[in-house]
């Protein structure tokens, strides 16, 4: 039998999905499982998108242009201008979700063996994309005590100098607002990153798929707004979270760097076309009324407060109250997040209910970090979140591996 590849062995299983069999078992026992583990919002997809699907006009569902329909790219230019991001359609390649944008960028910018710096904890699937491209992620730790703010500039420079000297460091990547921490990077932090990127001639990759999800009156600031960084900034975006339409699989890769875009375009042509149905929905979505987002932000602020306030009342537990996305990383008084999350599904119940969370270890470059942390997605409604927090509080009292 032929052997599988080294990459096939090295790719990590999803930390978000690996507990699914235990959740299935719990449900078979008749237990209500509150899913705090997933990034699939319960918010309705806007009518604009559903109507576009229901009224799909064509008789043949054809390939689109490999870079995406020009009509959609023009609408995206309009969308980004609302955020003071000034683009032309040529700066945009429509991709199959944000994931494909990351894959295209890694393939186009980085050689196997190259490395990029990412503040950790970071979105677990970045590891899979890095394995795919044969590159290495060099983590710089951010701390729960500082709310997972950008690590001190000194940490970056130390790590950069070590790796630049080896000739392999090619970029820095941030997720803003952050998955899993919810941290919203400030304009000043991004300007710091710009200065580093320019000083050491590094790409600055930014995953901004949670752009709309900013709370407490804070504004999102994009890498594409950084002056002087036009040749270094690479933006990954997606409509999945923005319009609660994860299944349309429409994202985009954005850069003013024409060489990068020309290279990415060759990979885009090889796979022919992003999804046509999704693009029709995504194009219509740009005309979604502004109050859709006002309502969504209000709802997520409420949910975040429910979770953060409840966690911080639990003895020995702590979490920041992040200003973006819909995730919270919480430190719990437990021996091990993996064990705890599995115990919740396999052994625990409270009034025939339990909760499912993502152990935070999967969001660190080395699973020995974040062992007493979990990621909570607040994608359930307020009532369910209250109930889930009650369940979690009881569970923490009963858990045999509770820290004294």
Residues in 44-103 at the binding interface with a second copy, rule: CB under 8 A = 44-45, 49-50, 53-56, 58-64, 66, 96-97, 99-100, 103
The partner residues of 324 in beta bridges, in order of sequence, read 214
Q: Is-contact 50 371, C-beta < 8 A?
A: no
The partner residues of 232 in beta bridges, in order of sequence, read none
Using the minimum distance from each CB to a second copy, give the nearer residue, 50 or 297.
50
Using the minimum distance from each CB to a second copy, give the nearer residue, 128 or 359.
128
Spatial separation of the C-alpha atoms in residues 364 and 121, rounded to whole Å = 5
Structure tokens at 398: 């009963």
Q: Does residue 7 interact with a second copy by CB under 8 A?
A: yes
Kindly state the smallest distance separating residue 404's Cβ from a second copy, in Å: 37
Using the minimum distance from each CB to a second copy, give the nearer residue, 129 or 215.
129
Kindly state the smallest distance separating residue 315's Cβ from a second copy, in Å: 35
Q: Does residue 128 interact with a second copy by CB under 8 A?
A: yes
State the Cα angle at 137 between 132 and 143, rounded to 5°: 135
Question: Alpha-carbon Rg of the chain, whole angstroms?
Answer: 21
Q: Does residue 276 interact with a second copy by CB under 8 A?
A: yes
Spatial separation of the C-alpha atoms in residues 340 and 362, rounded to whole Å = 14
Spatial separation of the C-alpha atoms in residues 251 and 268, rounded to whole Å = 13
Percent helix, strand and coil across the chain, each to the nearest 5: 45, 15, 40
Q: Which of 65, 74, 38, 83 has its CA nearest to residue 271?
A: 65
Q: Is-contact 356 36, C-beta < 8 A?
A: yes
How many residues belong to the site for a second copy (CB under 8 A)?
Answer: 83
Q: Is-contact 127 104, C-beta < 8 A?
A: no
Q: Is 140 helix (H, G, I), strand (E, B) or coil?
A: strand
Q: Does residue 13 interact with a second copy by CB under 8 A?
A: yes
Per-residue mark of binding to a second copy, 172-201 (x: CB under 8 A): -----------------------------x
Q: Is-contact 370 363, C-beta < 8 A?
A: yes
Kindly state the smallest distance separating residue 238's Cβ from a second copy, in Å: 10
Q: Does residue 351 interact with a second copy by CB under 8 A?
A: no
Q: Does residue 171 interact with a second copy by CB under 8 A?
A: yes
Extract the runs of DSSP E, i.e. beta strands, from 228-274.
233-238, 251-255
In the window 246-265, what residues touch a second copy (CB under 8 A)?
A: 246-249, 257, 259-260, 263-264
Among 48, 108, 181, 222, binds a second copy (CB under 8 A): 108
Q: Does residue 266 interact with a second copy by CB under 8 A?
A: yes
Omega into 180 within 30° of 0, i.e. cis? yes
Kindly state the smallest distance separating residue 266's Cβ from a second copy, in Å: 4
Among 142, 159, 181, 273, binds a second copy (CB under 8 A): 273
Spatial separation of the C-alpha atoms in residues 114 and 207, rounded to whole Å = 19
Q: Does residue 356 interact with a second copy by CB under 8 A?
A: no
Among 33, 41, 332, 374, binds a second copy (CB under 8 A): 41
Using the minimum distance from each CB to a second copy, give the nearer residue, 50 or 149.
50
Q: Does residue 270 interact with a second copy by CB under 8 A?
A: yes
Using the minimum distance from each CB to a second copy, give the nearer residue, 244 or 353.
244
Using the minimum distance from each CB to a second copy, give the nearer residue, 8 or 30.
8
């Amino acid at each position: 039998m032929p052997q599988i590849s080294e990459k096939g062995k090295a790719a990590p299983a999803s930390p978000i999905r690996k507990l699914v069999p235990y959740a299935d078992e719990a449900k078979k026992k008749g237990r209500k499982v509150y899913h705090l583990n997933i990034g699939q919002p319960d918010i309705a997809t806007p009518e604009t998108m559903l109507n576009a699907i229901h009224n799909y006009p064509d008789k043949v569902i054809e390939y689109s242009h490999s870079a995406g329909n020009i009509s959609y790219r023009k609408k995206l230019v309009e969308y980004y201008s609302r955020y003071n991001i000034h683009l032309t359609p040529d700066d945009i390649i429509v991709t199959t979700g944000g994931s494909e944008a990351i894959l295209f960028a890694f393939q186009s910018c980085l050689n196997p063996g190259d490395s990029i710096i990412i503040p950790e904890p970071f979105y677990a699937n970045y590891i899979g994309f890095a394995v795919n491209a044969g590159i290495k992620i060099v983590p710089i730790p951010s701390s729960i005590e500082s709310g997972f703010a950008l690590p001190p500039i000194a940490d970056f420079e130390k790590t950069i100098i070590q790796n630049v000297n080896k000739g392999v460091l090619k970029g820095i990547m941030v997720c803003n607002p952050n998955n899993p921490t919810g941290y919203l990077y400030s304009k000043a932090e991004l300007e710091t990153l710009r200065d580093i990127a320019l000083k050491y001639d590094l790409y600055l990759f930014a995953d901004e798929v949670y752009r709309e999800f900013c709370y407490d009156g804070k504004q999102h600031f994009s890498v594409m707004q950084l002056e002087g960084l036009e040749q270094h900034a690479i933006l990954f975006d997606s409509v999945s979270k923005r319009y609660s339409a994860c299944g349309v699989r429409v994202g985009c890769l954005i850069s003013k760097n024409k060489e990068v875009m020309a290279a990415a375009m060759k990979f885009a042509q090889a796979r022919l076309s992003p999804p046509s149905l999704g693009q029709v929905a995504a194009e219509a979505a740009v005309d979604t009324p502004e109050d859709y987002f006002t309502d969504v932000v209000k709802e997520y602020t409420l949910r975040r407060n429910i979770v953060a306030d409840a966690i911080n009342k639990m003895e020995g537990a702590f979490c920041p109250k992040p200003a973006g996305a819909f995730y919270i990383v919480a430190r719990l008084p437990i021996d091990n997040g993996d064990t705890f999350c599995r115990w919740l599904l396999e052994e625990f119940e409270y009034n025939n209910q339990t909760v499912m969370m993502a152990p935070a270890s999967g969001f660190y470059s080395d699973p020995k970090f974040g062992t007493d942390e979990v990621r909570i997605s607040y994608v359930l409604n307020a009532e369910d979140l209250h109930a889930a927090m009650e369940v979690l509080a009881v569970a923490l009292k009963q858990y045999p591996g509770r820290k004294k």
